[in-house]
């Protein structure tokens, strides 16, 4: 992740993608989601 300005992580739902990225990157990342908050 240090060598690229953006990283895309794909995979099935509920597989821990967000948890993995937040754990590995810590405070160094900007988290962006495309989830529609009205669908919750």
Contacts of 7 by beta carbon, 8 Å cutoff, 6+ apart: 1, 21
Q: pLDDT value at position 22? A: 82
Helices (H), the chain: 17-25
Question: In a 10 Å sphere around its CB, with 0-12 CB exposed, 13-18 middle and 19+ buried, how is residue 25 labelled?
Answer: middle
pLDDT of residue 26: 75
Q: Domain extents for the chain? A: 16-40
Q: What is the pLDDT of residue 7?
A: 77
Amino acid 1: pLDDT? 67
Render pLDDT for 1-40 as a digit per residue (tens, 0 to 9).
Answer: 678 778 788 999 999 988 888 888 777 777 778 888 887 6
């Amino acid at each position: 992740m240090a060598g690229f300005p953006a990283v895309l992580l794909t995979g099935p739902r509920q597989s821990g993608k967000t948890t993995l990225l937040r754990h590995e990157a810590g405070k160094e990342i900007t988290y962006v989601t495309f989830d529609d908050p009205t669908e919750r």
